[in-house]
Amino acid sequence: QVQLVQSGAEVKKPGASVKVSCKASGYTFTNYYLHWVRQAPGQGLEWLGLIDPSSVSTSYAQKLQARITMSRDTSTSTVYMELSSLQSEDTAVYFCARFKWELGGFDSWGQGTLVTVSS
């Protein structure tokens, strides 16, 4: 079955960077876009961007374009999301999710990674 397994929780100081991984299994890795979504405590869902694992092309949310980088490693079927210049407002649970074009939505999600930014 499809599984997305994310790396563990992180605690970072303001100004630092964080890199979260998402390892896919149970399907052909290059056939589906993977997206990143975050959710600050008590808040709604915020889309961060996407990566096409087959072409490595990316698209990012405008507000984060200067600070976010998504990458992939096809040998391990893993995608990465790196966010730099962290501030307290970046404290959130970060999810990776598989986008299925036939559905126009996310049919599988990672378990979430809590990133806490605190001095």
Partner 1 sequence: DIQMTQSPSTLSASIGDRVTITCRASQSISNYLAWYQQKPGTAPKLLIYKASNLKSGVPSRFSGSGSGTEFTLTISSLQPDDFATYYCQRYNSYSLTFGGGTTVEIK
Binding site for partner 1 (CB under 8 A): 35, 37, 44-47, 50, 59, 61-62, 95, 97, 99, 103-107, 109-112
Between 59 and 118, whose beta carbon lies closer to partner 1?
A: 59
Token pair of 48, please? 């961060």
Between 35 and 72, whose beta carbon lies closer to partner 1?
A: 35
- Smallest distance from partner 1 to CB 50, Å: 7
| Phi and psi at residue 37, to the nearest 5° | -135, 140
- DSSP annotation of 26 reads S
- Smallest distance from partner 1 to CB 60, Å: 9
- Smallest distance from partner 1 to CB 33, Å: 9
Between 17 and 55, whose beta carbon lies closer to partner 1?
A: 55
Between 8 and 104, whose beta carbon lies closer to partner 1?
A: 104
- Smallest distance from partner 1 to CB 39, Å: 9
Token pair of 25, please? 């299994």
As a dihedral over the C-alpha atoms of residue 20, residue 5, residue 36, residue 69, rounded to 10 degrees, the angle is 30
8 A C-beta contact, residue 40 and residue 91: yes
Of 66, 67, 36, 64, nearest in space to 51 by CA: 36
